Chain A
Amino acid sequence: MKKLRKWSRILHRDIGYFFIGTTLIYAISGIALNHMSDWNPNYSIELKNFETDLNLSNSTNVKEQILLLLDNVDHRKNYKKHYYPSNNRLKIFLKGGSSIVVNVKKGYGTAEYLKKRPLFFEVNYLHYNPNRIWTWFSDIFAAALILFAITSFFMVKGKKGITGRGGIYTALGIVIPLLFLLLYM
């Protein structure tokens, strides 16, 4: 038992240090993605309204007009594509995910500028398993979490350990998700 306790502490501590960065990645992105209905976790959005006299109706030479519009409201080098969702509306796509919608009859328009949220964009990207290598790494991290749970049983002895206060906390941590399942599933 003494040996088991000793190794539980060593593994819990050292593997714990190793996965501090990964834990923060999943914790930060977890909160960010949990609240996806309240905000865009990857981009901040800035809206800019404008008016234009340019003739942007659907025609063969409209692209030149669109580039002139971009000279005023953005940069022509950011032009990507455009299309007409309806007769009155023109949507212009810009590089970097931003876009502009114009009411071509009234000349009113709104530019939607997207800006990557630093840190959140990167951690969310990793959270979504971008490739097979990361999938393997995150599987190892998940296995380490299981190991942390198991080793925590043996790390501390006495009334602060699993037979005392630790046991009550463990039971509570299991009862809460079970209650949730009973009430909401």
Chain B
Amino acid sequence: MKKIILILVFIISIISCKTDTKKAAINESSETEQKQETPQIALGEFDIKAGDFVDKEIQLKGIVDHICKHGGKKILLVTDEGDAHVFSDERFDDALKGSEIIVNGIVLEERIDEAYLLKMEENNIKSHSEGKSNKEQFENRKKHAQQYRNMMKADSVDYISNFSLKYISHTEID
């Protein structure tokens, strides 16, 4: 009986080892495939190239400059060349601040058009009249809306795209 149990244990361990190796090999190859398939965009080129990748997965590499203190679900990724915001459903770890990371995420596009600016101005007036913003903040937001209008006029376009990334995963670089 003991011998049978020993043989069974031996056979099971061999099978499980083989399956694990196979699984590991499959995982490795699919990871390599994914790594090869996901394009990496330089942060400096993100605003220019992001339009071609809306709703698609890309990689961005940069340093975490800031983690939003309200909720911690937004980070600002930076390099000498540019920056991008990354949004997540989960909180980011505070320890990520100052770390260099590669983020995988889906490109999001927010279109700023005349309707958006009118709503922005309406909210600005409302929050100022309710005392939620001071005169300086009110004037700055007003100026900001005008800057968008000037940019649209200069480029002869109906809207301006703001791109960001919806977080999927990240890898820290030493």
Task: Report which of A36, A80, A81 forms a contact with B69, defined as CB distance below 8 A.
Answer: A36
Return the chain B residue nearest A37 by Cβ: B70
Contact, CB under 8 Å: A85 / B94 = no
Interface of chain A: mostly helix, strand, loop or mixed: loop
B58 within 8 A of A: no
Task: Report which of B63, B94, B95 forms a contact with A42, defined as CB distance below 8 A.
Answer: B94
- Size bin of chain A's contact surface: 10 to 19
Task: Report which of A40, A85, A95 forms a contact with B78, defined as CB distance below 8 A.
Answer: A85
Task: Report which of A42, A81, A99 forms a contact with B100, defined as CB distance below 8 A.
Answer: A81
Inter-chain contacts of A128 with B (CB < 8 A): 72, 91
- Kindly provide the distance from the CB of B88 to the nearest chain A CB, expressed in whole angstroms: 13
Inter-chain contacts of B91 with A (CB < 8 A): 128
Interface of chain B: mostly helix, strand, loop or mixed: loop
B37 within 8 A of A: no
Contact, CB under 8 Å: B99 / A83 = no
**A119-166 contacts to B (CB < 8 Å):** 128
Task: Report which of B70, B79, B97 forms a contact with A93, defined as CB distance below 8 A.
Answer: B97
Contact, CB under 8 Å: B98 / A94 = yes
CA distance A97 to B97 in the complex (A): 6
CA distance A83 to B80 in the complex (A): 6
B121 within 8 A of A: no
Task: Report which of A36, A58, A80, A85 forms a contact with B99, defined as CB distance below 8 A.
Answer: A80
Return the chain A residue nearest B71 by Cβ: A128
CA distance A95 to B94 in the complex (A): 11
> What is A's interface to B at a CB cutoff of 8 Å?
36, 40, 42, 58, 80-81, 83-85, 91, 93-95, 97, 99, 128
> What is B's interface to A at a CB cutoff of 8 Å?
63, 65, 69-70, 72, 78-80, 91, 94-95, 97-100
- What 6 pairs between A and B have smallest CB-CB spacing? A93-B98, A80-B98, A84-B80, A97-B97, A81-B63, A81-B98
